[in-house]
A and B are shown apart, each in its own frame.
Chain A
Amino acid sequence: MIAQETLTPEEMAEIDHEIALVPMRRAAAIEALKIVQHHRGWISDDSLQAIAGYLEISPEELDSVATFYNLVFRRPVGRNVILLCDSISCYVMGYEKIYGQIRDRLGISFGQTTSDGRFTLLPNACLGTCDHAPALMINNELFRDLTEENLDEILDRYH
């Protein structure tokens, strides 16, 4: 199969930087996936083929890596990705209420994206901020001590 997309010069330069740090091209696979996802939002089949070609490994092998990790997105995501912690301390402190409120407010369950592409909602394993549970991340920001009161105000910050 011939890749329908190619990597941009910027993506290639960033991947080259990572390749230089490791003994073999393929060892940069995870970094390369991160770089392309950073630029394109997710890893499409075409993107996957382009990266695999650049690293000189098969697309299947790269896909086995891409699908292994929770935060490599093999499907399109919205402009903002909500990662709601569903692990034990957040369970005890009532993350299910927060989840219910997000569902009511945005009309999406875990794994779904709002029809306007504004939010994708995903469950996430323990965010390591258990003394301030429940917690979630939106894009790169961490929000802790969530309540039904402060949640709406947090969601309003993202468009």
Chain B
Amino acid sequence: METPLTQHISFDRPCYNLRDYEKNGGYQAFRKALSLSPESITNTVQASDLKGRGGAGFNTGMKWSFVPMNGHYPVKYLIANADEMEPGTFKDRMLMEGNPHQLIEGMIISAFAIQANISYIFLRWAYKKAGRLLTHAIGEAYAAGYLGKNILGTGYNLEMYLHTGVGRYICGEETALLNALEGKRATPRAKPPFPQVSGLFGKPTIVNNVETLCNIPHIINNGPDWFKSLGKGNDAGTKIYGVSGRVKRPGLWELPMGVSMRELIEDCAGGMANGYRFRGALPGGASTDFLVEEHLDINLDYKSVAAAGSRLGTGTMIILDDHTCPVGFVHNLEHFFAQESCGWCTPCREGLPWTEKILLSIERGEGRPEDLQLLETHTRLLGPGNTFCALAPGAMEPLQSALKYFREDFEKHIDQKKCPWR
């Protein structure tokens, strides 16, 4: 089984410096890319069927193809979205701490493909170690001539800056991230215009997730057919999957895209911890619908997870066990979303705190039977199409599926006027 993304990652030693990375084939893909036309790089990435690993799952090469390439745009930007803040998600931290040059090489190739001359890594504040390692690696890449003016004598120029955020979930939304980089409140922007045409400071901009960008050198080295052959079912490539919660071995694994949920939980994570029983899981971070026991054999690719009523999201799974109250679990999620709402649009600003309060009152044994109806109404009012961005619809996913799969638990709280778990 091939594991391109993690083949050079080991936490038993320091991460590769530039020389070690080069010795192991690093920056060969970039050298190859420089001999290709930008358009053919975009075509290769599009043909590989690489989909965005930040959660939305859009074809990466197609996203790039919307950037104007007619020479009328002297300033363009390429941004790595390293603001990993989806609760339960910890994969990009591992990629950046484990092999910072892989991300930098992926960014340089991507920037070359859209002919951007300025690139940013938008890193979340809490990732101190990743920040130190990336700062050092960017310095090495400048010294080696992979960044700066007239890169490797080709006449291509690229600057790279590390921007550290000051904490807000909404910064992960790509247009909110652009506002944060411009020094403003990170409220999302109306689309269109899309960032590919009018992004950072009004210039054409591509924002890609860290894991997405780390795939680029391997696709350039080995070709789109190789990349497609890595996946098991509907989707191409490998994926960094993760499991957290009451399992024997929480962690991250690079696996063929489309591995089954059972393989991930039982073989990789070692199954449930002693004394704990599986009740459900959010397959791809806090803003995805619950999957339950009947879904254990589905494949974790975009289409199959969607068919089961959820989203692959970030591919990092949070397990709900039988010692944890589902109402408390969902209340914790809605507390997060209510706190992190940017406040721009009314349904999200007002609806999420309301949802959180209802859940808290149910959890405290003060819930009324009609509260479940009220929560269901919220899942519709805050659902897709009614809000300015995807935050509130995402927040409704675990709630609507909890009301479906764990309804008895909600009712027990209301009937017994207490949380049965406390």
Q: Which residues of A contact B (CB under 8 A)?
A: 21-23, 26-31, 33-34, 64-65, 68-72, 83, 86-89, 91-93, 124-133, 137, 140-142
* CB atoms of B332 and A131 under 8 A apart: no
Task: Report which of A72, A126, A141 forms a contact with B89, defined as CB distance below 8 A.
Answer: A126
> Interface residues of B toward A: which range?
35 or more
A97 to B: closest C-beta gap in Å: 13
Task: Report which of B90, B324, B333 forms a contact with A128, defined as CB distance below 8 A.
Answer: B90
* CB atoms of A128 and B124 under 8 A apart: yes
Q: Is B316 an interface residue (CB 8 A)?
A: yes
State in angstroms the CA–CA spacing of A132 and B247 once bound together.
12
* CB atoms of A89 and B85 under 8 A apart: no
Contacts A88-B286, A130-B244; A140 near B128 (Cβ below 8 A): yes
* CB atoms of B126 and A130 under 8 A apart: no
* CB atoms of A131 and B250 under 8 A apart: yes
State in angstroms the CA–CA spacing of A27 and B202 once bound together.
13
Residue interface bits B334-351, CB-to-A below 8 A is 1, else 0: 011001101000000000
Task: Report which of A26, A72, A87, A92 forms a contact with B183, defined as CB distance below 8 A.
Answer: A26
Residues in A neighbouring B246, C-beta threshold 8 A: 92-93
Residue interface bits B301-327, CB-to-A below 8 A is 1, else 0: 000000000000000101111001000
> Closest 9 A-B residue pairs measured CB to CB?
A29-B183, A130-B244, A70-B167, A131-B250, A69-B166, A87-B87, A126-B87, A89-B244, A71-B167
* CB atoms of B128 and A33 under 8 A apart: no
State in angstroms the CA–CA spacing of A135 and B169 once bound together.
18
Contacts A21-B161, A92-B329, A129-B93; A31 near B183 (Cβ below 8 A): yes
Given A86-B332, A87-B87, A87-B286, 10 more contacts at CB 8 Å?
A65-B183, A69-B168, A125-B339, A128-B85, A128-B126, A130-B242, A131-B244, A131-B251, A140-B128, A142-B128
Residues in A neighbouring B201, C-beta threshold 8 A: 22-23, 27
* CB atoms of B86 and A126 under 8 A apart: yes
Residues in A neighbouring B165, C-beta threshold 8 A: 30, 69
Could you jot down 20 A-B contacts, CB within 8 Å? A30-B165, A30-B183, A68-B185, A69-B166, A69-B168, A70-B167, A71-B167, A87-B336, A88-B282, A91-B328, A92-B324, A93-B245, A93-B246, A124-B167, A125-B87, A125-B167, A128-B127, A131-B250, A132-B250, A142-B129
State in angstroms the CA–CA spacing of A91 and B325 once bound together.
11
Q: Is B388 an interface residue (CB 8 A)?
A: no
From B129, B244, B333, name the one whose CB has the most chain A CB atoms within 10 angstroms.
Answer: B244
Task: Report which of B125, B318, B324, B340 forms a contact with A71, defined as CB distance below 8 A.
Answer: B125
From B124, B169, B245, B321, name the one whose CB has the most chain A CB atoms within 10 angstroms.
Answer: B245
* CB atoms of B167 and A133 under 8 A apart: no
From A27, A33, A88, name the one whose CB has the most chain B CB atoms within 10 angstroms.
Answer: A88
Contacts A69-B167, A128-B124; A89 near B183 (Cβ below 8 A): no
State in angstroms the CA–CA spacing of A65 and B180 once bound together.
9
State in angstroms the CA–CA spacing of A141 and B129 once bound together.
9
Q: Is B106 an interface residue (CB 8 A)?
A: no
* CB atoms of B183 and A125 under 8 A apart: no
State in angstroms the CA–CA spacing of A125 and B6 once bound together.
27
Residues in B neighbouring A86, C-beta threshold 8 A: 332, 335
State in angstroms the CA–CA spacing of A95 and B221 once bound together.
44
Q: Closest residue of chain A to B340, judged by CB?
A: A125
State in angstroms the CA–CA spacing of A30 and B83 once bound together.
15
State in angstroms the CA–CA spacing of A130 and B285 once bound together.
11
Q: Is B235 an interface residue (CB 8 A)?
A: no
Task: Report which of A72, A92, A128, A141 forms a contact with B318, defined as CB distance below 8 A.
Answer: A92
State in angstroms the CA–CA spacing of A127 and B168 once bound together.
12
Residues in A neighbouring B166, C-beta threshold 8 A: 30, 33-34, 69-72
Residues in A neighbouring B89, C-beta threshold 8 A: 126, 128, 130
* CB atoms of B126 and A88 under 8 A apart: no
Q: Closest residue of chain B to A33, judged by CB?
A: B166
* CB atoms of B85 and A126 under 8 A apart: yes
* CB atoms of A30 and B90 under 8 A apart: no
A117 to B: closest C-beta gap in Å: 23
Q: Closest residue of chain A to B187, judged by CB?
A: A68
Q: Closest residue of chain A to B333, judged by CB?
A: A88
State in angstroms the CA–CA spacing of A132 and B245 once bound together.
9
* CB atoms of B167 and A130 under 8 A apart: no
B249 to A: closest C-beta gap in Å: 8
* CB atoms of B183 and A128 under 8 A apart: no
B253 to A: closest C-beta gap in Å: 11
State in angstroms the CA–CA spacing of A31 and B180 once bound together.
10
* CB atoms of A65 and B185 under 8 A apart: yes
Q: Is B297 an interface residue (CB 8 A)?
A: no
Residues in B neighbouring A65, C-beta threshold 8 A: 183-185
Q: Is B88 an interface residue (CB 8 A)?
A: yes
Residues in B neighbouring A29, C-beta threshold 8 A: 183-184
Q: Is B84 an interface residue (CB 8 A)?
A: yes
Q: Closest residue of chain B to A133, judged by CB?
A: B244
Q: Is B182 an interface residue (CB 8 A)?
A: yes
* CB atoms of A130 and B186 under 8 A apart: no
State in angstroms the CA–CA spacing of A86 and B243 once bound together.
18
State in angstroms the CA–CA spacing of A29 and B183 once bound together.
5
Interface residue ranges of B130-189 to A (CB < 8 Å):
161, 164-169, 180-186
Residues in B neighbouring A89, C-beta threshold 8 A: 87-88, 244-245, 318
